Amino acid sequence: MSAFQAIEHGMDLQTYARALTRTYDAVLGGSRPAMRPRDLVARSWQRVLALGLDPDGRNSRTPLPFDEIERLRRESPLSFVVDEIKRLISSVADASQFLLVITNGDGVILWREGAAGTRLRADRLGFVDGAVWTEAAVGTNAIGTAIAEAAPVQLFSAEHFEQPQHPWYCTAAPIHDPRTGELLGIVDVSGPALTLHPTIGALIETAVRLAELLLWRHHQHTLEQLRTSAAPWLAGVEGPLLLVDEHGWVAHSAGIATRDRIARPHGDRAITVPGLGLCLPEPVAGGWLVRPNSADTTVRLLLDLSGPPRIEVSGGGTPWRSPLTVRHAEILLLLHLAGPGGLTAAMLSKALYGDADHVITARAEVSRLRKLLGTVIDTRPYRVADGVELRLELGDAGRPADCAFVRDSASSSVRALVGQ
């Protein structure tokens, strides 16, 4: 049995559902239950109760307008794999009263398919296209709890927070970008509680593996197409260069050690690439050509923490500046302090969140930072790349310990600098 599954082979589901209802009533009534809820369920109930949600199911779930749903579908990377997921699961779903649901990373239902009767029951529950099924919106449910826990989740009957969801089971797992680890969405199978079979968990795991494999193949195919279309033109270009797609993923390199990704190019702004320095991207069909502006290939970063955090980038051309989120400024400060040894994803999770349980979240934050700055941040471990100089600007504060940004940080590792 998978670790996240709610039932075991041979279990009397009706008896177990009644036991869960007694547990649910006791917990919400403030008394001690005879059977403790699973740890995953207890954590979720605690989060939801703190939000003040209504267990009777009167929480808002107004769906997005159709045009907005269509836009989110077009922009979702999962649009490339949704048909294959449907082919894997939907033939079983039609015969067995399952409902297949695929959301984006924010828990918005974008695709839904399954037995007609189950769809009608889901409609009455507000489990429809365009509805947001996070814990904050509808309480403990497999989609929202999988997002909150960053892990697969299966819930059965009264493990759901809202009572109208008790006649259901739901099994969900996150789909991540195989390149970055960023959460792309959730695949979920739901249905009448008493029809839950232990093999549903394995089916969901297979669907996630298939989706991530197809996403990786699509990425590689896109880069190969870019290389092929640009090959005749590149034959006449001299000097170090990178050929990248519209998101900064490297399709071809010459005269520079191959990197996986640089900052997402924009035609009106220079970007920095270790080994090339400051570069002004040139558009080509399907991507960008990136070449150095000058012979100075050193990239210089100035992390300005004297006020609202921002980054200044220079090296071989006109500097450019960009505001930073507090979290991204904390990451850069922690990497600066870590030095050449850097930080593993687990170490960064502990530094930012106080534990090693937020590795996926930490990786996603670094991925978003690399979209802005590119490969000035190396991976495995995370560190400031070779050929990059990172300095701090603290304003009137002479040292990090005197800096307001450090004192107010949500990161315990950053705040620890106050005592130094």
pLDDT at 354: 87
Contact, 59 vs 165, CB < 8 A?
no
Distance from C-alpha of 302 to C-alpha of 313, rounded to nearest angstrom: 7
The verdict on 86 and 134 lying in the same domain is yes
Task: Provide the residue count of the chain.
Answer: 420
3-state class of 140 per DSSP?
coil
> What type of residue sits at position 17?
A
In a domain, residue 223? The reply is no
Alpha helices in 196-344 (DSSP H): 200-234, 326-338
Query: What digits encode the pLDDT tens for the residues 33-82?
Result: 999 999 999 999 999 999 999 999 888 889 999 999 999 999 999 999 99
3-state class of 331 per DSSP?
helix
List b or e across 5-30, with b for residues whose CB sees 16 or more CB atoms inside 10 angstroms: bbbeeeeebeebbebbeebbebbeee
Query: What digits encode the pLDDT tens for the residues 2-13?
Result: 557 888 888 999
In a domain, residue 50? The reply is yes
Contact, 329 vs 337, CB < 8 A?
no
The verdict on 163 and 241 lying in the same domain is no
In a domain, residue 353? The reply is yes
The verdict on 213 and 259 lying in the same domain is no
Query: What digits encode the pLDDT tens for the residues 258-294?
Result: 678 888 887 767 777 877 777 878 888 889 998 887 6
Domain of residue 114 covers 13-217
The verdict on 135 and 211 lying in the same domain is yes
In a domain, residue 406? The reply is yes
| Domain total in the chain | 2
Query: What digits encode the pLDDT tens for the residues 115-139?
Result: 888 899 999 999 999 999 999 999 9
